[in-house]
Amino acid sequence: MKMLYIKLKFLPIFSLIYRLMRRFIIKCFRIKSFFRKKVFDFEEVIEFGDLLLESLDRRVGEYIHEFPLPDKKGVWVHDLYFPSPLIVSSFKDNPVALEVWLKMGMGGFIFKTILENSQEGNPRPRIVDFDQKGEILNAMGLPGKGLEGLRNIICSNQALLGFERPVGISVGGKTKEEYCRNFLFMNKLCDNFPKTAFFFELNISCPNIDEGKSLTENHESFKETLLFLRKHTSRVVGVKLSPDQSNEDIVRYIETISELDKTYVNLGNTTYRDRKKMGLSSEDFFPKGGGLSGDSLFPRTLEMLQLAKPFNVPVLSTGGVSKLEQAESLLQEGASLVGIATALVKDPYRVIQMNLEVLNSKETD
């Protein structure tokens, strides 16, 4: 009890140390690239950060990663219970990082979008961290280990399921047929788990794979795919829309989603930005453009939420949330859940603060 009290009191210090360390590590990698005459690749920092996180978690995780989760103020989305409305958005498949964020008190998480086969994604460098702005530009192109990789994670990381918080599986695909095939595989994989352990999220809005865009551009194909999922599972199914879709389009998609049982809509994803407009050369960022995430997305996130108001469908609001006021305004405006990605990478301790304060402020309602 005393330890917990000290940890909570020292959250701002944890946060400061984390941010300073992060900056220091990035500087070291920049200097290393300079001396080796190599292009600076932010992904190397991420890889190092993941190893550091794993090592810290093994040694001192109890002191620096474990934070409380007041389980009385959770949220129901159909038959799924999220003990906190703040959840980890789909962007990471490293089980250690996901486990740490659950220990820190996140209400659940959604795995990074999965395609059928293992693939490398786009050429590097394909991710840039705008430190001062609280933003990240990425064009990863959905690298990952495919369906077999997902099977390995689920079968060998029982700890992730031991938290008993809903786990989302983000279904990707380069064609409608691939979406359906991937989904059937994933659905079978979850067969032995209770309905409340897993849910599915159809990612139709990834801006980095040309073919993946097709479902945002072809409403009929989207509808058929969603119906296919609905027909084959009784688990909750969500659809992640893009802030780059027009308002008219978003309303049309929400209408379709709200007509089916046990669905939700995730509003939204990264927004497309041209590399040049972000002041980047091909040396800094190889692809011509990518998805911008972080602070500047928030006004559009709030705007998209208004579009869902006339419909009776739960909303997961995602994009640019890093402050308590932002999470609160989304929840007050009707969002059931709030998804977070960039802010967790930039400073997870600030997210813990926000998590506890959101729950506390809900308590006084």
Ligand X SMILES: Cc1cc2nc3c(=O)[nH]c(=O)nc-3n(C[C@H](O)[C@H](O)[C@H](O)COP(=O)(O)O)c2cc1C
Residues that bind ligand X (CB under 6 A): 89-91, 112-113, 127, 136, 138, 140, 142, 170, 203, 206, 240, 269-270, 293-294, 297, 318-321, 340-343
Report which residue type is found at 326: Q
d(CA 202, CA 280) in angstroms, rounded, equals 31
Nearer to ligand X by Cβ, of 233 and 266: the residue is 266
Nearer to ligand X by Cβ, of 262 and 346: the residue is 346
Could you tell me the smallest distance in angstroms from the CB atom of residue 316 to ligand X?
A: 10
Nearer to ligand X by Cβ, of 15 and 61: the residue is 15
Could you tell me the smallest distance in angstroms from the CB atom of residue 88 to ligand X?
A: 9
d(CA 213, CA 239) in angstroms, rounded, equals 13
Could you tell me the smallest distance in angstroms from the CB atom of residue 91 to ligand X?
A: 3
d(CA 23, CA 214) in angstroms, rounded, equals 38
Alpha helices in 65-145 (DSSP H): 95-103
Could you tell me the smallest distance in angstroms from the CB atom of residue 294 to ligand X?
A: 5
d(CA 194, CA 161) in angstroms, rounded, equals 11
Could you tell me the smallest distance in angstroms from the CB atom of residue 364 to ligand X?
A: 26
Q: Could you give the C-alpha distances from 289 to 11, 44, 303, 358, in angstroms and in order?
A: 36, 20, 24, 35
Nearer to ligand X by Cβ, of 7 and 15: the residue is 15
d(CA 73, CA 363) in angstroms, rounded, equals 7
Nearer to ligand X by Cβ, of 138 and 182: the residue is 138
Report which residue type is found at 221: S
Nearer to ligand X by Cβ, of 58 and 339: the residue is 339
How many residues can be counted in the chain? 365
Q: Does residue 76 sit in helix, strand or coil?
A: strand
Could you tell me the smallest distance in angstroms from the CB atom of residue 59 to ligand X?
A: 27
d(CA 38, CA 363) in angstroms, rounded, equals 52
